[in-house]
Chains A and B, each alone.
Chain A
Amino acid sequence: MTLIPPAVGRRRPSEQEVIAVELISGLLMIIGLFAFAYLFYAIATNDTIREATQGPEVPGVGLNVVYKSPEGEQPFFELRPIEGGQAGASGIKEGDRLVSIDGEEVSGMSLAEVQARLAEKDVSREEDDFEITIGFLRPKPDGTFSQEERVVPKNVAPTLTIAYLKSFGFVVPLVVIGLGVLLIRLGSQLRRYDIIAARWALVVFLWLMIGVMVGAIWAFWVSGKGGLVGNAPFNYGKAISHAVPFLLAIIPLALSYRWLSKVIDEIFEGDETLMSRQTRFAWTLLVPTLTVLILVAARPLEQTFIKSLTDDEFSANRPARLIWFDNYKRLLSFKLTTVECKKDDTGECARSPNGSIVWQTSAVEEEERNKLREMSSAERKRYARYSEVSTLALPFGDKGLRILGKDPTFLNAVGNTLKFTVASVILELLLGLIIAMAVNSRFKGRGLMRAAMLVPWAIPTVVSAVLWSVILRGDQTGIFNKLLMDLGIISRPQQWFSANGPWMASIIAVDVWKTAPFMALLLLAGLQVIPSDLYEAAAVDGASKVRQFFSITLPMLRPTIAVALIFRTLDALRVFDVFQVLLDTTRPSMATYNYNRLVLTRSDGYASAVGVMIFILIFIFTVLYVRFVRIERE
């Protein structure tokens, strides 16, 4: 075989070098193709996707029946749970005698009919169509039978769309395909002895080596421990056998890298602008950060969004269904209506012991109640009705404005979060401004003072919440109550966090304590860059301190205040720790509501919808924030 070396480069590459370049460009193309192949392989062999295309391994509830008719007895169907089916897990044992399916007696059915009913896998995707109720007789040791009933979920495959979206989504496949295309293109450019391609190839090899190393360590660790939770002894054989393929893959990469970097300036040719060089260098450095952000931010965010369009539940024994925007509809549905108050004997509005007006039921609620009455139990289970979020007394007459929602807890959470955000951010700004102004003037012990300001900031938020829950205990053992009583402000202990106490104010106070000093530090930095001759000039002109504050300090501080405000608003909108520690689940913030739905009630899809809404809300403020910072910097 003769290869004609191309007549480019500073020197003609030797015949071996030509082969080497061919090999390296081949390697790049193979890696690119491998990325495609691996993607398809992963999709084709994915368990969920296979289930979606071929149906579940064990169809139906996973029960075999044997027809038996012993002498002197009624014939019966004996149940035999299939391994891997749901029946065994639901507590049906071999030897149980089938009596009914979904309440229908089986005595009149044929064996084939019964088998077909139990293996049924087509479901209409209605709530209770995912399970079969099986009535059976269980033989007892004394020869009698006990009548029992079990609800067994069917093995149902998810639809292909859901299976694909949940396991792969778009972000990662798109990145893999993009990289594959780039690598194949790079391989072909390398064959043209293009120096830019060669330099990119070096970068690619470098990061591939690092990536493969990380893969090797990961494979060694995870397969050795057999999952990271649990105390199984470390299996070195398995660990090494899983890590070796990765280590082998490094060899060709390392060889290519070394050889290429040695000859790069000798046999490759071309001009490169400084910009192109710098761009390559910058992107090289950005690779790990971008990888991490894709893995821990973009992909989970995509996953959350996909889930929010389904009715996925962790505990449910059924696959998720695509319900599009139903979760959002339910979260956001609300109605406004007026209600009359209940009259007491004097004709005035009746008040409950804590002073709030007692309202009557509204027409909307009556309507909902009637609707529910007419529904079957299955329909009732699925139906979300409008119920009260809160009622505001209208200024005239005996009427109130009632807000009704399909998910009152969520609407309450939104209300709580907004109230909390507005109040705490304003208070923090005022308090922070006072603290910053005080600390900005010169006095003995200023350094100490600044250190003291960092104390609340440094205490973990959860820890500060726990601490405040002790300080604000609702009886005489709470130090704040004692302090107020010693000062004669209150006469008996106040319940700070109880549902009809001033809990919102307490929560806000706890948050303000933690973050006002931090706000002060940000504002202090802004104060320090205001030139002092401005004040001097103002003083010479006879401007009072108050005047100076409003016509010098505030305008000069405006950008800092703007950034600090947006910054704090963003933080307050996603408040979690204080609500989670100090309040029960009936008074959530948006974030704790999301958490409760996800972890306590395990409704994954619904919680995801809440997460997406928080994201959108925060995103709006983030855009504002970025715009402000950008104006500041340019």
Chain B
Amino acid sequence: MNAKPRIASQQTLLVPRRITDLVGRALFWLLILAIAFYTMAPFAYAISISFRTNAQVLVSARYLPEDPQLINYQNLFEDSDFMRTMLNSSFVSSVTVVFSLVVGSFAAYALGRVQFKGRMIVMYTVLAMTMFPQISILSGLFAIVNDLNIFGSTAALIFTYPIFTLPFTVWVLTSFFQGLPAEIEQAALVDGATPFQTFWRILVPLTAPALVTTGLLAFIAAWNEYLFALTFTLVNKSAQTVPVAIANFGGYGYEIPIADRIAATVIVTVPVLVLVLIFQRRIIEGLTAGAVKG
């Protein structure tokens, strides 16, 4: 599959070599096509189904819609409850991201650029925390959220989401900070800057791309979160986020709401997909830098 070793192919006869080459190429492209189909077909089918009416979907399966209609999307955009869940999701995710970035960049700077006692312990604790099983603390958090009197509100989500966004923000940003050359602070120190000035005025602007990447990953993680949202907002419909709304979708008719529900999944996924496609290089970089959960 690697292009280069072909040079050293031991075959001397021209014709067979060409044929094996051609077959190889054909197989290779077949593989690529299969991968593309595998990764994209389900979502493409979702788009296709979202243009059919619910009645049509319940009668037969079709690869392409028979007469494309926008009725599902119309229903959803006119549905104030669904729009509200979109708003909730955006609000919760944005606040979580801003909070995690600000707090996380402080910690990451300390861990990535400053030599101090206890650094290794803190660093690997943070790494271990990125793996924290949310389900384990569900009942404990339940009690705390109740005590704080925020059960059933978006505040409960903003309060609990840092448990999965913060550790990985810190970890990824730490790797980025460590990658910067050491001379930066020395130069700043010589110029008489305080450590905080060095951090805020010089290092943060330098890591802006890393902040964008990490922020995006945190945003996607918060946008996709299901367990906490389900547990803490199930009782209060007006605080629900999109994943919960889709999982418990009621629909608009008397039938099982398949088409509407799938249209909703398309609406939810498109913003994330657009973000991902625009920033794909950055995201891959960030994912591999921290080997973090998506």
Chain A CB within 8 A of B133 CB: yes
Chain B CB within 8 A of A482 CB: yes
Residues in B whose Cβ lies below 8 Å from that of A629: 127, 291
CB <8 Å contact, B227 and A468: no
Residues in B whose Cβ lies below 8 Å from that of A611: 133, 135-140
The 0/1 profile, CB within 8 Å of A marked 1, for residues 266-278 of chain B is: 0011001101110
Residues in A whose Cβ lies below 8 Å from that of B131: 570, 618, 621-622, 625
A1 to chain B, nearest CB (A): 38
CB <8 Å contact, B42 and A513: yes
The 0/1 profile, CB within 8 Å of B marked 1, for residues 512-536 of chain A is: 0100011001101100000010011
CB <8 Å contact, A443 and B268: no
Chain A CB within 8 A of B58 CB: yes
Chain A CB within 8 A of B74 CB: no
Give residues 521-553 of A contacting B (CB, 8 Å): 521-522, 524-525, 532, 535-536, 538-540, 542, 545, 548
A617 to chain B, nearest CB (A): 8
Chain B residue nearest to A453 (CB atoms) is B39
- Tell me the dominant secondary structure on chain A's binding face: helix
Chain A CB within 8 A of B80 CB: no
The 0/1 profile, CB within 8 Å of B marked 1, for residues 265-297 of chain A is: 000000000010011011111101100110111
Contact for B170 among A289, A479, A571, CB less than 8 A: A289
The stretch that binds B, out of A62-70, A301-309, A332-340, is: A301-309
CB <8 Å contact, A302 and B140: yes
Chain A CB within 8 A of B192 CB: no
CB <8 Å contact, A595 and B277: no
Query: Could you tell me the distance between the alpha carbons of A135 and B1 in the complex, rounded to whole angstroms?
Result: 83
Chain A residue nearest to B103 (CB atoms) is A288
CB <8 Å contact, A285 and B224: no
CB <8 Å contact, B140 and A301: yes
By CB atoms of chain A within 10 A, which of B5, B131, B139, B275 has the most?
A: B139
Chain B residue nearest to A536 (CB atoms) is B4
CB <8 Å contact, B287 and A539: no
A464 to chain B, nearest CB (A): 8
Chain B residue nearest to A463 (CB atoms) is B265
Chain A CB within 8 A of B61 CB: yes
B199 to chain A, nearest CB (A): 8
By CB atoms of chain B within 10 A, which of A451, A462, A518 has the most?
A: A462
Give the total of A residues in contact with B, Cβ under 8 Å. Answer: 114
Q: Given A285-B106, A435-B35, A576-B227, are A615 and B5 neighbors across the interface (CB < 8 Å)? A: no
Residues in B whose Cβ lies below 8 Å from that of A303: 137, 139-141, 143-144
CB <8 Å contact, B136 and A301: yes
Residues in A whose Cβ lies below 8 Å from that of B128: 622-623, 625-626
By CB atoms of chain A within 10 A, which of B114, B127, B261, B283 has the most?
A: B114
Residues in B whose Cβ lies below 8 Å from that of A536: 4-5, 8
Residues in A whose Cβ lies below 8 Å from that of B136: 301, 304, 594, 611-612, 614-615, 618
Q: Given A477-B59, A478-B61, A574-B134, are A292 and B116 neighbors across the interface (CB < 8 Å)? A: no
Chain B CB within 8 A of A111 CB: no
Chain B CB within 8 A of A598 CB: yes
CB <8 Å contact, A477 and B269: no
A606 to chain B, nearest CB (A): 10
Query: Could you tell me the distance between the alpha carbons of A467 and B294 in the complex, rounded to whole angstroms?
Result: 19
CB <8 Å contact, B39 and A456: yes
B224 to chain A, nearest CB (A): 4
The 0/1 profile, CB within 8 Å of B marked 1, for residues 393-431 of chain A is: 000000000000000000000000000000000000000
Query: Could you tell me the distance between the alpha carbons of A279 and B129 in the complex, rounded to whole angstroms?
Result: 22
The stretch that binds B, out of A178-186, A221-229, A361-369, is: A221-229
Residues in A whose Cβ lies below 8 Å from that of B31: 434, 438
Query: Could you tell me the distance between the alpha carbons of A385 and B144 in the complex, rounded to whole angstroms?
Result: 34
The 0/1 profile, CB within 8 Å of A marked 1, for residues 30-51 of chain B is: 0110011011101101100100
B6 to chain A, nearest CB (A): 8
Interface residues of A (CB under 8 A from B): 166, 222, 227-229, 275, 278-279, 281-286, 288-289, 292-293, 295-297, 299-304, 307, 434-435, 437-443, 449-468, 470-471, 473, 476-479, 481-482, 513, 517-518, 521-522, 524-525, 532, 535-536, 538-540, 542, 545, 548, 563-564, 567, 570-571, 573-574, 576-577, 580-581, 590-591, 594-595, 598-599, 604, 607-608, 611-612, 614-615, 618, 621-623, 625-626, 629-630
For the complex of A and B, list the 6 residue pairs with the smallest distance between their C-beta atoms, beginning with the closest. A300-B140, A303-B140, A539-B5, A460-B224, A525-B288, A615-B136
> Would you give 7 A-B contacts (Cβ < 8 Å), ordered by A?
A282-B119, A288-B107, A289-B166, A304-B137, A481-B61, A545-B2, A614-B135
4 further interface pairs, Cβ-Cβ under 8 Å (given A462-B224, A476-B60, A623-B128): A222-B150, A288-B106, A438-B1, A626-B124
